[in-house]
């Protein structure tokens, strides 16, 4: 590479050879369901099935591979709240290089444990990624270690670009590829590769609405730092694009769009229930853009990159429950019944007979709006859909039970 702005297709080809024995060639799967919903011929590039659970191993391994012997001896440093940490840790261990990863103190324990298990020393520092990043830079400089940037690095970009080669090999007549954007390293590499292989392919980048630093920067033609980040997609919540990725996105990317957290959550739910695919929020933004008509295409061969599957299980549970509520498969029933034995049993027996499963029960007796001798019962129930909910409503009305069903 002649300078920091010259990431070429040859660099990506070289990276493909380097990571060939380490990174998986992940599947590209067609989805009839998502094709029908979106009006496009939709394929999913499943980087959630990649080693370490995301695409990050590609760039991390390529970057560390290119260190000289002295740099390898001194070790590497990175900052990350998740996927980059695991990629650097695993790649370093494979090459016998010591790694130290700085992570924010709020990082989910599962990600901390995973990073340690891949062989890294983990340092918790700061309440945000930016604070962890600052600590990592200071530590690297003080200890003469090499900092492995998560996106603003030509070798990292070239490594991520190997996905573009794979997509072309798997689907020669691809019309558009939809890619999540955090710092921009992933989309930069993919765009360089695919524009070389198929000049008319459209590259569409997707950011979370609450973290659209790249989109705003491109629109204003200058890097625009965000003051606040507000999204469930923590894997792409980046305040400042890199100067290298900013320039590459301006050159190679055709369109930038955003999706809301509600749309991301819905895409995660559909991936799990319809596709049997676990995706983290950042990994689902591409499909969200396709399903919610953000890409402006119809009847095209569209690839949505599912960039990672390292989801926090607490969040995944919330996404599932929210999706069930939206599909009328779960609902809340609020009852006011006599506070005496047998009152609730009669209702629960009816629900059981109708194949309705009670998910949660809450009992209130002391609120001012509850009459003496009565109790408020809040039931979260799993139903069979709208017809089941109507039957419950009709039964409670017939039995003169004061109630409200919240859908």
Short-list 150, 129, 162, 157, CA closest to 77 = 150
Tokens of 137: 């830079």
Is residue 215 annotated as part of the catalytic site, yes or no? Answer: no
Catalytic residue among 38, 213, 307, 388: 307
Is residue 25 annotated as part of the catalytic site, yes or no? Answer: no
Q: How far apart are CA 223 and CA 162, in angstroms?
A: 26
DSSP, residue by residue, 181-203: -SSSHHHHHHHHHHHHH-TT-EE
Contact by Cβ (8 Å): 199, 168: no
Q: How many Cβ atoms from other residues are within 10 Å of residue 66's Cβ?
A: 17
Tokens of 324: 């069930």
Tokens of 83: 């996927």
Q: How far apart are CA 241 and CA 249, in angstroms?
A: 10
Q: How far apart are CA 16 and CA 4, in angstroms?
A: 19
Q: How far apart are CA 239 and CA 228, in angstroms?
A: 8
Instruction: Tell me the chain's radius of gyration from C-alpha atoms.
Output: 25
Burial 37-49 (b: 16+ CB within 10 A, else e): bbebbbbbbbbbb
Longest dimension (CA), the chain: 82
Strand-strand pairing, 374-382 and 330-338: antiparallel
Short-list 326, 348, 338, CA closest to 376 = 338
Q: How far apart are CA 36 and CA 67, in angstroms?
A: 47
Catalytic residue among 45, 56, 111, 145: 56
Catalytic sites, residue numbers: 56, 307
């Amino acid at each position: 590479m002649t300078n920091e702005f010259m990431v070429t297709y040859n660099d990506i080809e070289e990276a493909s050879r380097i990571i060939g024995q380490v990174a998986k060639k992940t599947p590209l799967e067609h989805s009839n369901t998502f094709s029908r919903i979106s009006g496009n011929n939709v394929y999913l590039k499943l980087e959630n099935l990649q080693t370490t659970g995301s695409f990050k191993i590609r760039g991390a391994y390529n970057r560390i591979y290119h260190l000289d012997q002295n740099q390898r001896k001194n070790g590497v440093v990175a900052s990350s709240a998740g996927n980059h940490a695991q990629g650097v840790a695993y790649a370093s261990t494979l090459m016998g290089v010591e790694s130290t990863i700085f992570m924010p103190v709020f990082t989910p324990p599962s990600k901390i444990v995973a990073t340690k298990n891949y062989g890294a020393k983990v340092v918790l520092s700061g309440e945000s990624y930016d604070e962890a990043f600052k600590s990592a830079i200071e530590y690297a400089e003080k200890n003469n270690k090499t900092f492995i940037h998560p996106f603003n690095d030509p070798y990292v970009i070239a490594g991520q670009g190997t996905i573009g080669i794979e997509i072309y090999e798997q689907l020669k007549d691809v019309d558009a590829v939809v890619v999540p954007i955090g710092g921009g390293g992933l989309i930069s590499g993919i765009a360089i590769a695919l524009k070389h292989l198929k000049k008319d392919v459209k590259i569409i980048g997707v950011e979370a609405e609450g973290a659209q630093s790249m989109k705003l920067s491109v629109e204003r033609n200058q890097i625009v730092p965000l003051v606040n980040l507000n999204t469930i997609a923590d894997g792409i919540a980046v305040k400042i694009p890199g100067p290298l990725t900013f320039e590459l996105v301006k050159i190679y990317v055709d369109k930038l769009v955003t999706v809301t957290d509600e749309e991301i959550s819905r895409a995660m739910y559909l991936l799990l229930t319809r596709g049997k695919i676990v995706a983290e929020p950042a990994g689902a933004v591409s499909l969200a853009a396709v399903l919610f008509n953000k890409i402006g295409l119809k009847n095209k061969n569209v690839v949505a990159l599912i960039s990672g599957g390292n989801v926090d299980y607490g969040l995944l549970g919330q996404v599932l429950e929210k999706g069930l509520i939206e599909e009328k498969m779960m609902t809340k029933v609020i009852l006011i019944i006599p506070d005496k034995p047998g009152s609730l049993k009669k209702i629960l027996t009816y629900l059981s007979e109708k194949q309705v499963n009670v998910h949660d029960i809450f009992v209130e007796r002391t609120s001012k709006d509850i009459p003496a001798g009565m109790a408020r019962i809040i039931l979260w129930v799993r139903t069979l859909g709208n017809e089941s909910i109507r039957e419950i409503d009709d039964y409670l009305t017939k039995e003169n039970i004061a109630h409200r069903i919240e859908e």
